[in-house]
Structure 1
């Protein structure tokens, strides 16, 4: 089974390496969604011992080829944002389905990955909750500092509270153990008080 997972990871990484959007990591420019997928896998490994194959693939492929559906193609309001996110989830699920089919995964396994990336059972499914924890932890560890620097404190506090509300107790515990910049930590503490 690991060979099949590795093959899917390789295909996801190859697609995400085409991302025209870049991020600087350790002084080098890397494709944004490529590094995001790898960070998701890294965080999942920290978060859970022996995650299911489906959870591993959903984590790595959660943003597969995300740049293909730009945010700018939808109205810049809440309704437009939600429509964009819905279209992305469907698109990611379709891409992951086809990669998994190519590697011989069964229909139940494929359906589970699609369910996870579509976040259909966020309130009721344990693995959906775990994936959401990993998403939130990756945001807090790798993206929160830049996000906080670009937005007013009130918006940052609101986002922290919404992020926290999506997480489980286990997610909260791990989030509190991350290393934060002093200013970022102050904002997080303010949001949680």
Structure 2
């Protein structure tokens, strides 16, 4: 087994511990494993020639996310940003550890960790932008309807959609327009993009 295959296997084993499950094609699987597979599927659409390191960062995007629920931080903007940055740091550390245990050198492991943290997103790093695009696509395709119904605030949802759109590259936006959304989701996207 190659170091890439070992790292992928270890990442997926970590996802399998997620106590939240989802049923896909009559099979119940841990949600974060499903999420990781969705991330890989969208990466294949955006960049079928992606490097091993980007593929690992994509797969590790939500590593053990359930261990730090959003509810463990204050329901404020500062609380949200603290939760996200702490979570990304922990996920990056774990991704780096998995890479090293699988045979990658420190530099490659650090690169995977930096992508998981989205450290170079604002500097225009193309791999980190691809990871951001993929995360936005999975949100729109797999999480949007549930999130929207739990939020119950149309104005806030339109704002979130505008921010999501703003995070994506042109390639990501083009792929987003191909997603078959629910009737409600499509209407909200239309409002968000019109404003």
Q: What TM bracket, shorter-length normalisation? A: over 0.9
- CA drift at 1:69: 1.6
- The answer to whether structure 1 residue 169 and structure 2 residue 170 are counterparts is yes
- CA drift at 1:28: 3.7
* Map of 1:25 onto structure 2: 24
- CA drift at 1:70: 2.2
CA distance in 2, matches of 1:142, 1:66: 16
- CA drift at 1:27: 3.9
- CA drift at 1:29: 3.0
CA distance in 2, matches of 1:140, 1:71: 19
- CA drift at 1:95: 0.7
- CA drift at 1:32: 1.4
Q: What is the RMSD of the two structures over their aligned residues, measured on CA atoms?
A: 1.4
CA distance in 2, matches of 1:27, 1:154: 35
- CA drift at 1:114: 1.0
| Per-residue Cα deviation, 1:131-176 (whole angstroms, up to 9, x for no partner) | 1000001111111122222222112111100100100111111101
2:2 counterpart SS class: helix
Size of the aligned set, in residue pairs, is 192
* Map of 1:155 onto structure 2: 156
Q: Provide the TM-score with structure 1 as the length reference.
A: 0.94
CA distance in 1, matches of 2:23, 2:156: 25
- CA drift at 1:179: 1.2
2:22 counterpart SS class: strand
* Map of 2:138 onto structure 1: 138
- The answer to whether structure 1 residue 102 and structure 2 residue 77 are counterparts is no
**Gapped runs of 5+ residues in structure 2?**
none
